[in-house]
C-alpha cells in the first residue's frame, strides 16, 4: 500500500481569522502525525482571503516545530515569485532546524491573480526562466566549491528533497529530464493527468537525487458518517470554486443543502470537471473510490486534501481516510518505495 499525505491551504472560514486557521493547521498536522500520514504540505497562494498560507516557509516552520516525525514541506513554493537564492536560504534554514523532515515542492504559476502577481515584482520577468531557476536553486543545495562567489548559508550541502509540481505536461517533462519527483495537481486540474504521468514515466532520467520515477497525485477526499453528509460537506469546496471563477474569492463558506440552487449549469460542468478527482462519502465509499483511483493511475503516493468548513469534521474526514489506508494496506501489503 502506498503512503498517504496531506495538502493544507490553512483555510480561513467565515466567522474566523488567520490566527484561528493557523491553530487548526497545527492541530491537523499533529493529528496527521499520529495517524501515520507521511508528509504534510502547505501551498503558496496570495491575495485570497480564504487561504492563509501565503508566507509558506514561515508556516512550514510553525508546523515542523509543533510536530516531531512527519515530513513537512511546500506543495508548493511558486518559484517565479522568488529569487532562487532566497528559497534555498529559507529551506536550508528549515532543514537545519528540522533535519530529514523538510520537502520543497516548486511550481511555476503565480498562485494568484495578475495584479497581485505584478505586485510580487518577479513573476512577469521570470516565469519563462523557470527551468533555469530550478537548476540555479538545485545548485545552491550542492556542497559549496572553493572560490564559489555566491552560496546559500544555510543551504549549501544540506539535503532538501526538491519536487516539481504541475498540472500540465511542462512540469512532467522537466521533472523527468532533471530526475526529480513529480506531484500532479489532479485535485483541481486533472485534465492532463494521464498524459503527464505517462510522459514522466517514459522520459525519466535517473539523477543523484532520484534513481527511479516517483509520482504523487492530488486527490480530494471528503469522508463522513454517511454518503449524504460527505456530499453536503463537499459543497464548501464546490462553492469556493464557483466564487473564485465568479471573481469573488472570499472566506471559506459553510456547506449548503442544495448546491444545485447555487450554481448555473455551465458552472456545474466547470466544477465537476475541475474536481473530477474526488472521493466523497462514508468509509466504504471512500475505500472503494481510493482503491479504484490507485489501481487506475498507479501513483507512488497520494496527496489528500479536504476543504471542509468545520474543523472537527475535517479532522474526522482525515481520520476516516487514514483508517481506509490501513484497511487497504492489510489487503494489499506493506508500504514500499517511500519518497
In 3D space, the residue among 57, 36, 94 whose CA is nearest the CA of residue 324 turns out to be 36
Q: Is the pLDDT of residue 339 over 80?
A: no
pLDDT band at 338 (very low <50, low <70, confident <90, very high): very low
Structure confidence at residue 332 (pLDDT): 67
- Tell me which of 22-31, 40-49, 104-113, 249-258 is least confident: 104-113
pLDDT band at 29; cut points 50, 70, 90: very high
Largest CA distance in the chain: 66
d(CA 156, CA 137): 10
What pLDDT score was predicted for residue 123?
Answer: 54
Instruction: Flag whether pLDDT at 159 surpasses 90.
Output: yes
Q: 299-313 burial, b if ≥16 CB within 10 A, otherwise e?
A: bbbbbbbbbbbebeb
pLDDT digits (tens, 9 = 90+) for 205-223: 999 999 999 999 999 999 9
CATH number for the segment(s) 4-219+299-319: 3.20.20.30
**In the predicted structure, residue 25 carries a pLDDT above the cut 80:** yes
Q: Is the Cβ–Cβ distance between 88 and 146 less than 8 Å?
A: no
Domain ranges of the chain: 4-219+299-319
Residues in the chain: 339
- Residue 83 pLDDT exceeds 80: yes
Picking from 188, 198, 204, the residue whose alpha carbon sits closest to that of residue 51 is 188
The residue-averaged pLDDT of 69-80 equals: 95
Residue 328, helix vs strand vs coil: helix
What average pLDDT score do residues 174-180 get? 98
Instruction: Give residue 96's pLDDT band: very low, low, confident or very high (50, 70, 90).
Output: very high
What's the CA gap between 225 and 218, in Å, rounded?
23
Binned at pLDDT 50, 70 and 90, residue 233 comes out as very high
Amino acid at each position: 500500500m502506498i503512503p498517504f499525505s496531506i495538502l493544507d491551504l490553512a483555510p480561513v472560514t467565515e466567522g474566523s481569522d488567520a490566527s484561528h486557521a493557523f491553530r487548526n493547521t497545527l492541530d491537523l498536522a499533529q493529528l496527521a502525525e499520529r495517524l501515520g500520514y507521511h508528509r504534510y504540505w502547505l501551498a503558496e497562494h496570495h491575495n485570497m482571503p480564504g487561504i492563509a498560507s501565503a508566507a509558506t516557509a514561515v508556516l512550514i516552520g510553525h508546523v515542523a516545530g509543533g510536530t516531531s516525525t512527519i515530513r513537512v514541506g511546500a506543495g508548493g513554493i511558486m518559484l517565479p515569485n522568488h529569487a532562487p537564492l532566497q528559497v534555498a536560504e529559507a529551506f536550508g534554514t528549515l532543514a537545519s532546524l528540522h533535519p530529514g523532515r523538510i520537502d520543497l515542492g516548486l511550481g511555476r504559476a503565480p498562485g494568484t491573480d495578475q495584479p497581485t502577481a505584478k505586485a510580487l515584482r518577479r513573476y512577469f520577468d521570470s516565469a519563462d526562466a523557470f527551468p533555469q531557476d530550478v537548476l540555479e536553486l538545485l545548485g545552491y543545495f550542492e556542497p559549496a566549491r572553493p572560490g564559489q562567489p555566491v552560496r546559500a548559508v544555510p543551504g549549501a550541502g544540506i539535503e532538501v528533497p526538491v519536487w516539481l509540481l504541475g498540472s500540465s505536461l511542462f512540469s512532467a517533462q522537466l521533472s523527468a529530464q532533471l530526475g526529480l519527483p513529480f506531484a500532479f495537481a489532479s485535485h483541481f486540474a486533472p485534465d492532463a493527468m494521464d498524459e503527464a504521468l505517462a510522459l514522466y514515466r517514459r522520459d525519466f532520467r535517473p539523477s543523484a537525487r532520484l534513481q527511479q520515477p516517483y509520482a504523487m497525485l492530488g486527490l480530494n477526499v471528503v469522508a463522513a458518517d454517511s454518503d449524504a453528509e460527505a456530499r453536503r460537506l463537499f459543497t464548501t469546496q464546490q462553492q469556493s470554486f464557483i466564487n473564485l471563477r465568479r471573481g469573488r474569492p472570499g472566506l471559506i463558506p459553510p456547506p449548503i443543502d442544495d448546491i444545485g440552487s447555487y450554481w448555473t449549469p455551465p458552472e456545474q460542468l466547470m466544477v465537476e470537471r475541475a474536481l473530477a478527482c474526488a472521493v466523497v462519502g462514508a468509509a466504504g465509499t471512500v475505500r472503494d473510490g481510493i482503491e479504484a483511483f490507485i489501481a487506475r493511475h498507479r501513483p507512488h503516493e497520494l496527496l489528500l486534501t479536504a476543504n471542509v468548513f468545520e474543523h472537527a469534521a475535517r479532522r474526522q474526514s482525515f481520520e476516516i481516510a487514514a483508517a481506509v489506508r490501513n484497511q487497504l494496506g492489510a489487503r494489499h501489503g506493506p508500504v514500499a518505495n517511500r519518497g
